[in-house]
């Protein structure tokens, strides 16, 4: 076996079954090795941020890592922005970066750069393969370590000479290497009765639910348990502002997200005597705003019920049982009426909430439709929502792509804004290439609306230069042509009726489609 074949075998032995790849010359022996690893599906992206964002979406849905295969420092750098988002989402990912042949590095060839310096800001662990004897163990360790800290990315730097070198040790079996302790420290058992007492005496409570997998604060179980508690305590519950993954729709309580801007967020938080963190971090403002403390709730009002990655469902249910809270009964939810005529964000949200098929995955990026849809979606059929966790835009479409690879039997919707989607627009090709079942909705307002909203905060007027710098109006991007150029069928909707019709059509066929929503 070659070193590259050993690495792929080690990934397989550890349960990795997908690699999002944009390889170059220093990864060619890994490319060759894929021939020996047919169960390791290789999905090509035309730009690295497509690959890393797709790995994020995949890892969020399956809670196990995909690999990425990237080309030295500059290729890796192209994927950093979505690794930043993945870091905030605590998504497990194993990045494999090919590098120059080890003995070539001292010569500072054109493609040489300080990969470690680039990798650490978005990796929980960075390791440079030191020789062929290191490949199997380091690869398995890289996969193991994606479970740490509630989930994280790890990065292996793999010099080309070790990729091609013969490795006699043979394929690894995935067993933990001898001498490496994988036992997890036992926490003290959770004392539900004590927690229940604490809540009973707390006064007004705000539960802040953190996103993640089925057992997280925004899985179905935890949400229902939180609703049971809210029914018997003076308590409200909010979702964190940007959950990596949350369950949503009929049959669930439909909690709001904590608002983005500090004024409305404070309006929600300030009345609470106790803010209970259920897999969420202490709430801070998104940016630093004059006149607002960064940390919106002081330690004296905070209680951490569980950390991100811990089982929130069990704890909330145990407390609800301890308090003899009645079983959860879903309240009837009305879907918002669909306004007739030209599209508005509220109209788009209403149409999508009505048309969304059962068990869909919705990847949301961009404020224009994101907030209105969240408000409308409580009454939609049950679905999973994925949001932009780290603020690096260009995340929504690749995450949808990765979710579709992870869950081929679920319809994926990408509800996006035109400005942010441009950052990783090449994702459209991969959707077509892989025939992924993703319906892409582009809110085309032809501006960086979020920046204009921020510029206008406090009633300020938009200067001519600021207007020009936030305009995407000249020329207007033709999203229908753009999608078709990448082999994705596309249409344009200007009214709620047209959107409704086009959505229905897109949802009955398999494969990618794009709808430009004229605003």
* Residues within window 403-442 making contact with a copy of itself, judged by CB under 8 A: 419, 422-423, 425-426, 429, 432-433
For position 49 contacting a copy of itself by CB under 8 A, the verdict is yes
Beta-carbon neighbour count of residue 166 at 10 Å?
10
Residues 6+ apart with CB under 8 A from 184: none
Residue closer to a copy of itself, measured from CB, 311 or 430: 430
Report the greatest alpha carbon distance in the chain: 70
Residue reference for tokens 């599209």: 343
For position 477 contacting a copy of itself by CB under 8 A, the verdict is yes
Least gap, CB of 285 to a copy of itself (angstroms):
7
Alpha helices in 377-495 (DSSP H): 396-406, 418-421, 427-434, 449-455, 464-469, 479-485
* Cα of 415 vs its chain's centroid, Å: 13
Among the listed residues 482, 503, 506, 515, the single contact to a copy of itself using CB under 8 A: 482
For position 455 contacting a copy of itself by CB under 8 A, the verdict is yes
Count the site residues for a copy of itself by CB under 8 A: 93
For position 481 contacting a copy of itself by CB under 8 A, the verdict is yes
Least gap, CB of 309 to a copy of itself (angstroms):
17
Residue closer to a copy of itself, measured from CB, 254 or 283: 283
Residues 6+ apart with CB under 8 A from 161: 101, 102, 103
Residue closer to a copy of itself, measured from CB, 261 or 507: 261
Question: Residues, the chain, total?
Answer: 519
Is the distance from CB of 43 to CB of 94 less than 8 angstroms? no
Whether the bond between 475 and the residue before it is cis, its omega within 30 degrees of 0, is yes
Among the listed residues 7, 18, 21, 518, the single contact to a copy of itself using CB under 8 A: 21
* Cα of 219 vs its chain's centroid, Å: 15
Q: To the nearest 10°, report the CA torsion of 444, 446, 450, 453.
A: -120
Residue closer to a copy of itself, measured from CB, 35 or 168: 35
Least gap, CB of 86 to a copy of itself (angstroms):
11
Q: To the nearest 10°, report the CA torsion of 285, 287, 290, 291.
A: 0
Least gap, CB of 486 to a copy of itself (angstroms):
6
Quick note: the x/- pattern for a copy of itself over 253-292, rule CB under 8 A, is: -------------------------------xxxxxxx--
> In 3-state terms, what secondary structure has residue 380?
coil
For residues 261 and 277, what is the distance between their CA atoms, to the nearest angstrom? 19
For position 107 contacting a copy of itself by CB under 8 A, the verdict is yes
Among the listed residues 31, 232, 302, 494, the single contact to a copy of itself using CB under 8 A: 31
For position 160 contacting a copy of itself by CB under 8 A, the verdict is yes
* Residues within window 110-139 making contact with a copy of itself, judged by CB under 8 A: 110-111, 113-114, 117-118, 120-122
Bridge-partner residues for 206, per DSSP?
A: 236, 275
For residues 277 and 305, what is the distance between their CA atoms, to the nearest angstrom? 6
For position 307 contacting a copy of itself by CB under 8 A, the verdict is no
Is the distance from CB of 352 to CB of 376 less than 8 angstroms? yes
Least gap, CB of 34 to a copy of itself (angstroms):
4
Residue closer to a copy of itself, measured from CB, 311 or 389: 389
């Amino acid at each position: 076996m070659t070193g590259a074949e050993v690495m792929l075998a080690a990934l397989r032995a550890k349960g990795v079954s997908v690699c999002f790849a944009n390889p170059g010359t220093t990864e060619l022996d890994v490319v060759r090795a894929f021939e020996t690893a047919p169960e390791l599906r290789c999905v090509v992206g035309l730009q690295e941020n497509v690959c890393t964002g797709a790995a994020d979406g995949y890892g969020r849905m399956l809670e196990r890592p995909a690999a990425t295969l990237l080309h030295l420092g500059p290729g890796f750098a192209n994927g950093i922005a979505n690794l930043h988002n993945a870091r905030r989402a605590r998504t497990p990912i194993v990045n494999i970066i090919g590098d120059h042949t080890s003995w070539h590095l001292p010569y500072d060839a054109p493609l040489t750069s300080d990969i470690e310096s680039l990798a650490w800001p978005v990796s929980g662990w960075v390791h440079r393969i030191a020789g062929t004897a290191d490949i199997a163990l380091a690869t398995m360790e890289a996969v193991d370590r994606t479970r740490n800290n509630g989930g994280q990315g790890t990065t292996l730097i793999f010099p080309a000479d070790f990729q091609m070198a013969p490795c006699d040790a043979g394929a690894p079996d995935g067993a933990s290497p001898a001498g490496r302790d994988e036992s997890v420290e036992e926490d003290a058992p959770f004392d539900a009765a004590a927690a229940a007492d604490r809540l009973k005496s707390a006064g007004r409570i705000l539960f802040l639910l953190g996103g993640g997998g089925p057992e997280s604060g925004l899985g179905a179980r935890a949400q229902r348990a939180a609703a049971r508690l809210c029914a018997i305590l003076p308590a409200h519950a909010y979702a964190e502002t940007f959950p990596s993954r949350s369950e949503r729709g009929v049959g669930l309580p439909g909690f709001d997200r904590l608002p983005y801007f500090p004024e409305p967020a404070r309006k929600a938080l300030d009345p609470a005597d106790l803010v209970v963190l259920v897999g969420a971090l202490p709430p801070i403002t998104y940016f630093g705003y004059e006149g607002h403390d960064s940390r919106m709730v002081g330690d004296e009002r905070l209680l951490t019920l569980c950390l991100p990655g811990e089982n929130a469902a069990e704890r909330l249910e145990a407390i609800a049982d301890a308090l003899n809270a009645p079983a959860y009964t879903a309240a009837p939810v009305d879907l918002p009426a669909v306004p007739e005529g030209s599209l508005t964000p509220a109209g788009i949200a209403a149409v999508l909430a009505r048309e969304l098929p059962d068990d869909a995955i919705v990847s949301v990026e961009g404020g224009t439709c994101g907030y209105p849809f969240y408000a409308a979606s409580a009454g939609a059929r049950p679905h999973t929502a994925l949001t932009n966790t780290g603020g690096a835009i260009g995340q929504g479409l690749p995450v949808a792509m990765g979710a579709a690879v992870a869950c081929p039997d679920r319809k994926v919707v990408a509800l996006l804004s035109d400005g942010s989607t441009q950052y990783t627009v090449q994702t459209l090709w991969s959707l077509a290439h892989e025939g992924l079942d993703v319906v892409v909705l582009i809110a085309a307002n032809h501006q960086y609306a979020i920046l204009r909203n921020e510029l206008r905060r406090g009633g300020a007027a938009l200067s001519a230069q600021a207007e020009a710098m936030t305009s995407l109006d000249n020329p207007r991007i033709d999203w229908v042509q753009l999608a078709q150029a990448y082999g994705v069928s596309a249409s344009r909707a200007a009214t709620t009726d047209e959107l409704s019709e086009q959505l229905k059509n897109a949802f009955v066929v398999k494969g990618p489609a794009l709808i430009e929503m004229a605003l």
